[in-house]
Amino acid sequence: MSGSVLLLSGGLDSATVAAVLRSRAEHFRAITVNYGQRHARELVAARNIAAETGALEHLVVSLDMSGIGGSALTDRKVEVPDAGGEGIPVTYVPARNTVFLSLALAFAEARDCDSVYIGANAVDYSGYPDCRPEYIEAFNTMASLALKRGVEGRPVVIRAPLIRLSKADIIRMGTEAGAPYALSWSCYRGGKKACGRCDSCRLRLKGFSEAGLEDPVEYENK
Amino acid sequence: MSGSVLLLSGGLDSATVAAVLRSRAEHFRAITVNYGQRHARELVAARNIAAETGALEHLVVSLDMSGIGGSALTDRKVEVPDAGGEGIPVTYVPARNTVFLSLALAFAEARDCDSVYIGANAVDYSGYPDCRPEYIEAFNTMASLALKRGVEGRPVVIRAPLIRLSKADIIRMGTEAGAPYALSWSCYRGGKKACGRCDSCRLRLKGFSEAGLEDPVEYENK
């Protein structure tokens, strides 16, 4: 039993996957990337969720993406907008899931794990291209050719169990599995309380509302 | 004219690509990953080669892969072997080219560049799976789905111009383009002089010998 790796951001989706893995008694290790994001509170959230859900190991990889820039989440000169714009928003981070999945792949191979879980979803989401099922599928094809394990016929498989679920369905599933949502953090702005106005807060609040459940996190505006 | 990004390791192959780009008067930016490698001399080499070949910008991204481990190049407890073993050697770093290409992809998109060059080759090489043409091809398919630029129909394309060349052919091509090989560094051991015994040194020396040229780098053993 070699277990799996979970990309744990500290947000609602990866908290859900962590709780589901725990409820199935599946052993997993968590990896979180400290990429100079504005909402560094995510890192505290990730640490607490990993401990609460019994991750075998929690690795925080530091990677300074500020020199790359190109996003409101990594460049302090670009402001985080309120929800409601059109197209792919300025909070898009170039190639973020590709970078994160690559690091998770390296971690999985080094620990001899069979799979990598990611909480990506493509229903109630911000329109990021690297959250779509076709992207995950293409990443898997690439990954099977990239690794020593792949050459040996034991590929590391990327699993995105939430990808076709609505936010409300994700929250229902997580609530059933006892997900520690009070410990999670979704707000892009990273203030003392969640702002309630950015895209990430709006999607989260809409999901709780549609699921008929109460979000345990405190908000400035709801 | 938006130019390209070159993954510059400081070794012989990427020095060759840098020189070829300069000889074609193609504008490029270089990116080097400081991943806690044993042979940190590579970083000095990369800086010197970027300056010598006129890179528009040279970004060094720090990424601590020591927590991931699983390779003689990142784990001080695993020794670098002499050349001549069988199969994929212990100097293999899990998912290294995937991590590097992902970061180069992010950099290219943030700077609005059309392509990423990588010096990978699959003829005189160490047998790493992520140096094969089919891997590069699968990475390109994934990349076209990962990026905002891809959604806009302007994908960032990965180019591996050396992938089917022998080391001798690479050295001939680089010499013609004036590649600053004296500034490059290939040895995995990273001592004062190149060891001449590790896989990387052996492949390099064999290439110079077959090309009938002299390697300007100093060796402990030749």
How far does Cα B19 stand from its chain's mean position?
Answer: 13
- Other CB atoms within 10 Å distance of the CB of residue A218: 11
In the block, residue with structure tokens 């390296």: A106
Probe site for chain A from B60, B66, B74, B98 (most A CB atoms < 10 A): B98
Nearest 10 degrees: Cα torsion A77, A82, A84, A86: 0
Chain B residue with minimum CA distance to A96: B106
Give the confidence band of B9 by pLDDT, cuts at 50, 70, 90.
very high
User: What is the mean predicted confidence (pLDDT) over B191-201?
Assistant: 91
User: What is the mean predicted confidence (pLDDT) over B182-191?
Assistant: 90
Q: Return d(Cα A128, Cα B151) in angstroms, integer.
A: 10
pLDDT tens digits along B160-179 = 999 999 999 999 999 999 99
Instruction: Enumerate the residues of chain B whose CB falls inside 8 A of the CB of residue A148.
Output: 88, 92, 94, 129
pLDDT tens digits along B76-113 = 777 888 887 777 888 888 999 999 999 999 999 999 99
Inter-chain touch B110–A88, beta carbons under 8 Å: no
State the ipTM, two decimals. Answer: 0.92
Write the DSSP symbol of residue B7.
Answer: E
Inter-chain touch A142–B146, beta carbons under 8 Å: no
Is residue A205 classed as helix, strand or coil in its secondary structure?
Answer: helix
Is residue A202 classed as helix, strand or coil in its secondary structure?
Answer: helix
Inter-chain touch B98–A143, beta carbons under 8 Å: yes
pLDDT tens digits along B113-156 = 999 999 999 987 778 899 999 999 999 999 999 999 998 999 99
Q: Which residues of chain A have pLDDT under 70?
A: 1, 38-39
Q: Return d(Cα A193, Cα A199) in angstroms, integer.
A: 15
Taken in order of first residue, the domains within chain B and their CATH numbers are: 4-211 (3.40.50.620)
Instruction: Enumerate the residues of chain A whose CB falls inside 8 A of the CB of residue B67.
Output: 59-61
pLDDT tens digits along B24-40 = 999 999 999 998 776 67
Inter-chain touch B106–A94, beta carbons under 8 Å: yes
Inter-chain touch A99–B106, beta carbons under 8 Å: yes
Q: Is A77 exposed, middle or buried (0-12, 13-18, 19+ CB in 10 A)?
A: exposed
Is residue B139 classed as helix, strand or coil in its secondary structure?
Answer: helix
